Amino acid sequence: MSEIKKFNIVPDIRLLVDIGQANYQVPEAVSELIANSIDARFEDESLEIEVSIRPELVSILDNGKGMSRDILGEALRLAADMNQVTGNTQSRKGMYGLGMKAACSSLGSHWRIVTRPPGDRNEYSVELDLAEWLKKKDRQGWEVEVLTSTYNPQTSLLGARAHGTAIFLTQLRDSETFHTAVIDKLSMAYRPHLLDGDKISVNGNPVLAKSYDLIDNRRWEIDLDVNGHKISGWYGLDTRTHNDGNYGINIYRNGQLVEAWNKDFLRQHLMSSRVVGEIELPFIPANFHKLGFNKSVEEWKIVKKAMTAELKQVVKASGEMAKNKNDPLRQAKAIKGLDIALGLASSITGQSAKTTDPENGIVVKSSNDMELEVSDKEASGLENKQNLNQIFLDGFLYSLNYQFDVLDDPTIPWDFLYDSKTRDLVAVINTDSRLFQTSTDQEFIAILALSESVVGFLIRDLGYTYPRAREMRDNWLFEALESREKAKR
Amino acid sequence: MSPSDDIQRPDRYSELIDAWGSFEKKTFDNWIIDVSECYFRSGIGIKFASQLLSIQPAELQAALNLASLDEDELALLATLNPPKTTWFTLAASSPDEIRQALDALKSAKEGASPFSVVARAIREIKGPTSMERIASLSSEAFGHAAKKATAFNLLNEKHIKALKGWESRVRTGRTLTPPQISYAEGLLRELAEQGAIVRNSRDGDEAICDEILNAIGVS
């Protein structure tokens, strides 16, 4: 015997509250509500959105299309298909019909929404108190009441707006919100709209489109065709490197930032950290909270491959700028290299000039691979004696060299590398250190760095005590410098 | 920083420690990439990370610099596992330079410093840098640049004085310091860009103009 029994699977009304447990921070929730305002904008009219963030109230007022009574009622339904409800055929930021409810619920437990479409003599409002909502006995009672009242600019919460929507949230979950954090979020999240003339203010402060600090103020266009879909945008090189992670590509979907500082297209590294840019990816679905893309879809993998190839040269240029810190033209050279690689400039090669070998003693070179050079006169017949390029200890000869490079901590003036297999010791002088940057006597710095590296190596790698290591260092340094002076004479 | 970051932190440290300690278990290129990724995920600085790993900060920095190379270049390095004293130099090199450096390391004499072997091999390809070429300019070149700057009413008094100062410095057998070389490069480039120092000069100073233009790498 078989039997079918039907069950009503309407969710418990608690879901309207639980949906607010989404991962929204206040700026993100406000941003999500603004996405709805933008979806409801008039194509030919500048949108003005006023956000207010107070300890007891968060409000968002716009002069968009507003909603009729029926649309407002539908908008409160979870997972409502607003395209169908509104008859909208334009691309929208709203995707799942959940954003407004999730954002409101994550901000506060008392909602008041007032809206008015253009030309309507009435305004429509809904008031929801989630605490009262939860007390309802009917756990499947999802009905909300939409109040219709005659619009009066003197008393309406919409004020003098001829049309638009206002959302007021009280009984806030988080009363300590910095409105500057909201401004910061919105300035990047809606950069394309702000540049197009839409206006957003937070507590009376205008939100300005995020600006980039680019080298030479230059941007390289991205215009890729991926399986019939277009990826458009730009990339550039920031004037500074970023330890704070604020580099990579900001990815927008229909003008709304979905992923900030994406690093999927470049290897996360300080040397790549000048690379910044923006792309618009309307064809990849955003995830539930629009805080990232659905990266499991095939299109994303193709985008990743295409963008990685697209950014390869600029990543390289970013790396070039981190190298050769002694070269004041490294930035210009890196940009030039990028232009050449992109076919935007032709190659200009410098002719090599013959370098004159120094006569004697230490020569400080300006390249990355500096070494203390010992004259031939000094080197001959001194194989097992101390000089600035070697130290002879307990029957073994150790090579000594030094180089200039960047250590990512300006408090470290120098450090050393030692390879025990080849007995090769290299002092690395940090060109980002205060000492290097304030000194003009690099020869002296090199000798200091090498001396201290010798001590460090004797203690760490050969196990000497500090007093013994110091004594050995002193003797080596004395003999090496004396040997150099003799050779000069 | 969110509370969840705090919770994840110890794992991120262990991840970095494990990555660094897995040198023997992985190919060199994979090891470099893993270390770099774990380091940047850890969110800690180079000094703290090197203490955590009980290594020198330079060692970690050199590995991170290598991670900026292309995968092909890293794979090339993995054929030899070059000594760590060469890492900084290799990280700043082009694919051709890396190939030359690895060949030189393979055929290096026993007891030779890998650092010096690599530096020399790369220098053979690269030739002298513009800084080195400027360092080798004659005293006459600096003096001539000063004269041209005056004649063409370019550069200011301080700049011209500097050029004259270097003329005397080089004449008396002293070399320019790196900051002076950088400064000189800027001034000489300005003179070239403004047309005071040109190829095929009609002022009868072709040779000395060429010497300067060669040094700053202008064709």
pLDDT tens digits for A140-187? 888 889 999 999 988 999 988 889 999 999 999 887 777 888 898 899
* A259-284 mean pLDDT: 88
Strand ranges (E), A145-274 = 147-150, 164-172, 199-202, 205-206, 220-226, 229-237, 248-253, 256-262
pLDDT at A150: 94
Token pair of A361, please? Answer: 């003693």
Top-confidence range, A241-250, A409-418, B3-12: A409-418
**Which of the pair, A178 or A14, is modelled with greater confidence?**
A14
The model's confidence at residue A412, banded by pLDDT at 50, 70 and 90, is very high
Q: Are A237 and A266 in contact (CB under 8 A)?
A: no
The tokens describing A411, both together, are 């408090």
Residue to mutate among B38, B64, B113, B213, with most A CBs inside 10 A, is B113
d(CA B192, CA A70): 74
Residues B114 and B53 in one domain: no
| B10 contacts: CB under 8 Å, gap ≥ 6 | none
Q: Phi/psi at A261 (nearest 5 deg)?
A: 50, 50
Least confident of A42-51, A88-97, A107-116, B172-181: A88-97
* Two structure tokens written together for B86: 């060469």
- Put the strands of the sheet holding A229-237 in their side by side order: A220-226, A229-237, A275-280, A248-253, A256-262
Q: Check: CB of residue B121 under 8 Å from CB of residue B112.
A: no
Chain B residues touching A367 at Cβ < 8 A? 123, 129, 131-132
Kindly report the nearest CA distance between residue B153 and chain A, in angstroms: 24
| B89: chain A residues, CB-CB within 8 Å | 368-369, 403
Which of B22, B44, B68 corresponds to the end of one domain? B68
Q: What is the mean pLDDT of chain A?
A: 82
In a mutagenesis test of the A interface, which of B30, B115, B218 is the best target, namely the one with the most A β-carbons within 10 Å?
A: B115
Does residue B122 share a domain with residue B60?
Answer: no
Asked whether residue B147 falls in the same domain as residue B183, the answer is: yes
The pLDDT > 90 percentage for chain A reads 36
Report yes or no on B46 lying in a domain. Answer: yes
Amino acid identity of residue B136, one-letter, is: S
Contact of A239 with A211, CB cutoff 8 Å:
no
Which has the minimum average pLDDT: A346-355, A445-454, B1-10? A346-355
Q: Mean of the pLDDT values across residues B102-129? A: 88
Judgement on whether residues B155 and B100 belong to the same structural domain of the protein: no
In this prediction, what percent of chain A has a pLDDT beyond 70? 82
A-B CB pairs within 8 A amount to: 184
Query: Which tops the pLDDT comparison, A317 or A354?
Result: A317
Same domain, residue pair B118 and B140: no
DSSP-derived 3-state class of residue A30: helix
Measured CA to CA, the distance from residue A93 to residue B179 in angstroms comes to 54
Residue A121 burial (10 A CB sphere; 0-12, 13-18, 19+): exposed
| pLDDT (tens digit per residue) in B162-201 | 999 999 988 887 878 777 887 898 899 889 988 899 988 8
Average pLDDT of the residues of chain B: 88
The whole-angstrom separation of Cα B60 and Cα A270 is 13
Kindly tell me if the per-residue pLDDT of A91 is higher than 70. no
Best residue of B30, B32, B61, B189 to probe chain A, by most A CBs closer than 10 Å: B61
CA distance A409 to B39: 14
Is B119 in the same domain as B167? no
Q: Which helix (H) or strand (E) holds A473?
A: helix A466-488
Q: What chain B residue is nearest to A404 in terms of C-alpha separation?
A: B88
At B116, is the pLDDT very low, low, confident or very high (cuts 50, 70, 90)?
very high
User: A interface mutation test: which of B64, B85, B174, B177 has the most A CBs within 10 A?
Assistant: B85
Q: Is B202 exposed, middle or buried (0-12, 13-18, 19+ CB in 10 A)?
A: exposed
Q: Do B85 and B30 sit in the same domain of this protein?
A: no
Pick B58's closest partner by Cβ from A349, A366, A415: A415
Q: How far apart are CA A56 and CA A73, in angstroms?
A: 26
Helix B3-21 and helix B28-42, axial crossing angle in degrees, nearest 10: 160
Q: Is the pLDDT of residue A351 over 50?
A: no
Q: How far apart are CA B44 and CA B197, in angstroms?
A: 50
The ipTM is: 0.73
In a domain, B42, yes or no: yes
Band the pLDDT of A83: cuts 50, 70, 90: low
Inspect the interface and report whether the beta carbons of A352 and B127 lie closer than 8 Å. yes
Mean of pLDDT values over A310-337: 75
The Cα–Cα gap between A67 and A114 comes to: 9
Closest alpha carbon to A393 in A459, A452, A483 = A459
Strands A205-206 and A199-202 come out as: antiparallel
Count of structural domains, chain B: 3
Structure tokens at A243: 């330890």
Distance of alpha carbon A444 from alpha carbon B195, whole angstroms: 38
CA distance B76 to B188: 39
Look at the alpha carbons of B191, B194, B197, B202 in this order and tell me if their dihedral is positive or negative.
negative
Q: How far is residue B52's CA from residue B43's CA, in Å, rounded to a whole number? A: 13
Indicate whether B1 belongs to any domain. Answer: no
The answer as to whether B167 is a domain residue is yes
The two tokens of residue A273 are: 């950290």
* Residue in B closest to A409 by C-alpha: B46
Q: pLDDT band at residue A328, thresholds of 50, 70 and 90?
A: low
What is the mean pLDDT of the segment spanning A299-318?
A: 90
Which residue of chain B comes nearest to A402, CA vs CA? B115
Of the residues B68, B100, B115, which one is the last residue of a structural domain? B68
Q: What are the structural domains, with CATH classification, of chain A?
A: 15-206 (3.30.565.10), 215-341 (3.30.230), 376-488 (no CATH)
Does the pLDDT of residue B62 top 90, yes or no? yes
Is residue B19 located within the same domain as residue B56?
Answer: yes
Residue A213 has pLDDT above 70, yes or no: yes
Which among B84, B111, B175 has CB closest to A358? B175
Residue A167, CA atoms < 13 Å, CB-side half-sphere: 29
Contact state of B85 with A319 under an 8 Å Cβ cutoff: no
SS3 state at A309: helix
Cβ–Cβ gap A269/B36 under 8 Å: yes
Same domain, B200 and B136: yes
Q: Is residue B85 part of a domain?
A: yes
Is the domain of B11 the same as that of B54?
A: yes
Do B28 and B94 lie in one domain? The reply is no
Per the domain annotation, does B54 fall within a domain?
yes
Rounded CA separation A326/A403 (Å): 11
Amino acid at A371: E
Of A431, A401, A422, A242, the residue nearest A323 (C-alpha): A431
Burial letters for A398-420: b for 16+ Cβ neighbours within 10 Å, e otherwise?
Answer: bbbbbbbbbbbbeebbbbbbbbe
The secondary structure of A294-307, three-state, reads CCCCHHHHHHHHHH
In this structure, what token pair is assigned to residue A67? 């909603």
Q: Which residue has the tokens 């919105």?
A: A186
pLDDT score of A431: 83
- In chain A, what residues touch B178 (CB-CB under 8 Å)? 326, 364, 366, 442
pLDDT band for position A321 (cuts 50, 70, 90): confident
B115–A403 C-beta distance less than 8 A: yes
Three-class SS state of A277:
strand
Work out the pLDDT band at B85, boundaries 50, 70, 90: very high
Q: What is the pLDDT of residues A233-265, one digit of tens each?
A: 999 999 888 877 789 999 988 888 888 889 999
Query: Helix count (H) and strand count (E) of chain B?
Result: 13, 0
Q: How confident is the model at residue A379 (pLDDT cuts 50, 70, 90)?
A: very low
Please tell me which of the candidates A312, A355, A417 has its beta carbon nearest to residue B62: A417
Record the tokens describing residue A372, joined without a space: 């203390």
At A116 the three-state DSSP class reads: strand
List the single residue in A with minimal CA-CA distance to B214.
A351
> Are residues B123 and B137 part of one domain?
no
B158 domain-assigned:
yes
Judged by CB atoms closer than 8 Å, whether chains meet at A424 and B114 is answered as yes
C-alpha closest to that of A397 among B113, B138, B161, B63 = B113
pLDDT of residue B87: 96
Domain range for residue B41?
7-68
Q: Please answer yes or no on whether A415 and B56 come within 8 Å at the CB atom.
A: yes
Contact A268 B92 (CB under 8 A): no
